[in-house]
Amino acid sequence: MLNQQRNPKEPPILSWAITIGLFLVGAWPIALFTLFRILSVGSITSPPKQQKRSLNAPREPIDLEPVEVKPAKKNKAHKPARRSGTVPIPKKWGRRLITLGFLAAVFSGIPLAGQLIDFLTTMQSGISSYMVQGLLQSTGFFAGSLVVLFCGLSRQGKAARYRRYLQLIGRRETISVDTLAQALPVPYRRACNDLQDMLVRGFLPVGYIDRTSRTLILSESGLREEAPKVQESVPEQPPVPKDDVLQQIYQLRDNIEDPTMRQKVDRIGEITGRILDYQKAHPDCAAELRSFLDYYLPTTLKILRSYEQMEEQRINGENIRTAKEKVEGMMDKVVEGFETRLDKLFHAEAVDITSDVQVLEQMLRQDGLTGEELKFPRQ
Q: Give me the residue spans of the domains in the chain.
A: 13-63+84-217, 242-345
Give the whole-angstrom CA distance, residue 4 versus residue 54.
11
Q: Are 15 and 34 contacting, i.e. CB atoms less than 8 angstroms apart?
A: yes
How does pLDDT run along the chain (379 residues), one tens digit per residue?
A: 344 444 444 455 776 677 777 766 666 667 666 666 666 655 444 444 433 334 344 444 434 344 444 444 444 444 545 555 566 777 666 677 788 778 877 877 887 787 787 777 777 676 667 677 777 777 777 887 788 777 778 777 888 888 888 888 888 888 888 888 888 888 899 888 888 888 888 888 778 888 888 888 887 665 555 555 555 554 544 555 656 888 888 888 888 888 999 999 999 989 988 988 888 888 888 788 888 888 888 899 899 999 888 888 877 788 888 888 899 888 899 999 989 988 888 877 777 788 778 878 888 878 777 765 445 455 4
Q: Are 43 and 200 contacting, i.e. CB atoms less than 8 angstroms apart?
A: no
Q: How does DSSP classify residue 186?
A: -
Q: Are 268 and 251 contacting, i.e. CB atoms less than 8 angstroms apart?
A: no
Quick count: other Cβ atoms within 10 Å of Cβ 15? 20
Instruction: Report the SS3 class of residue 115.
Output: helix
